[in-house]
Amino acid sequence: MRGVFITLEGADGCGKSTQAARLAERVAATGREVVRLREPGGTSVSEKIRALVLDPANDRIAPECELLLFEASRAQLVREVVEPALGRGAVVVCDRYYDSTYAYQAAGRALPEDVIRRANALGSCGVDPDRTLVLDMPAADALARATRGGADRMEAEGLGFQRRVSEGYLRLAAEEPERVRVVDAAGTVDEVEARLAAELADLLPGLLAQNAGGE
Ligand code: TYD
């Protein structure tokens, strides 16, 4: 049995990390093995790349270099962790994956889309998510939340950049409606969690049984 590969996406500050944790718990409660990951990161090599690519001191990183660093981090994560996990039937919940590269490096940085798609094919080693959940909220609200404790190198790009990122995600969802689902990130953590679970019900039987109030 191949596992299930789920990715969570959205602009900085949309509440993804909280929801990734909730979702992982919910899946684990159905009795399946869950592997929770975040990008960039998840292996010792990928965590080193993460530190490099997000460090505000590295303000001269060229867009092409940035792209290749994200892809390098991803390829290592896929080969070392994602493929083996899917191979043994686990559910992989990954906070960001190649759609982030589309949203940030193509829509945000304006690198050519065909280049990004080919880079993503390489960096993902051909491993595609079964479902991608995009948490959507107004860019200004998300950025304010993300930068409360200080901004990393991407967050420091400002509101116009985050708006392009959000629009990039909406374009992806329009292109691939079966895989990519947009979920309204407004409301309580419980409400958003229930919306996300509903978008996974066909892939993960038992997930909705846990909704408070028996939705
Ligand atoms: P992180 O602190 O993990 O942000 P978040 O909690 O919002 O996920 O930082 C990851 C940053 O890297 C985030 O700003 C998005 C950016 N990023 C890209 O630009 N391209 C990519 O391919 C990936 C995976 C992330």
Spatial separation of the C-alpha atoms in residues 190 and 149, rounded to whole Å: 24
3-class SS of residue 139: helix
- Give the range among 50-64, 121-135, 169-183, 200-214 with minimum mean pLDDT: 200-214
Probe residue for ligand 1, chosen from 7, 104, 147 as the CB with the greatest number of ligand atoms within 8 Å:
104
pLDDT at residue 147 in the model: 92
Count of C-beta atoms within a 10 Å radius of residue 132: 24
pLDDT at residue 212 in the model: 54
Sheet holding 4-9, edge to edge: 34-38, 91-95, 4-9, 131-136, 180-184
Spatial separation of the C-alpha atoms in residues 60 and 45, rounded to whole Å: 22
pLDDT grade for 215, boundaries at 50, 70 and 90: very low
Percent of the chain with pLDDT over 90: 88
pLDDT at residue 213 in the model: 47
Distance between Cα 127 and ligand 1 center (Å): 19
Probe residue for ligand 1, chosen from 154, 165, 172 as the CB with the greatest number of ligand atoms within 8 Å:
154
Question: Whose CA is closest to atom 19 on ligand 1?
Answer: 104
Residue 6 carries which side chain, given as an amino acid letter?
Answer: I
What value does the mean pLDDT of the chain take?
Answer: 94
Beta strands in 30-142 (DSSP E): 34-38, 91-95, 131-136
Spatial separation of the C-alpha atoms in residues 103 and 53, rounded to whole Å: 16
Residues 6+ apart with CB under 8 A from 61: 53, 69, 153
Of 185, 163, 176, nearest to 107 by C-alpha is 163
Is the peptide bond prior to 56 cis by the omega test (within 30 degrees of 0)? Answer: no
3-class SS of residue 142: helix
pLDDT digits 0-9 by tens, 160-198: 999 999 999 999 999 999 999 999 999 999 999 999 999
Q: Chain centroid to CA 36: how far?
A: 11
Atom of ligand 1 nearest to the CA of 73: 24
Spatial separation of the C-alpha atoms in residues 111 and 101, rounded to whole Å: 10
Spatial separation of the C-alpha atoms in residues 74 and 76, rounded to whole Å: 5
Distance between Cα 96 and ligand 1 center (Å): 7
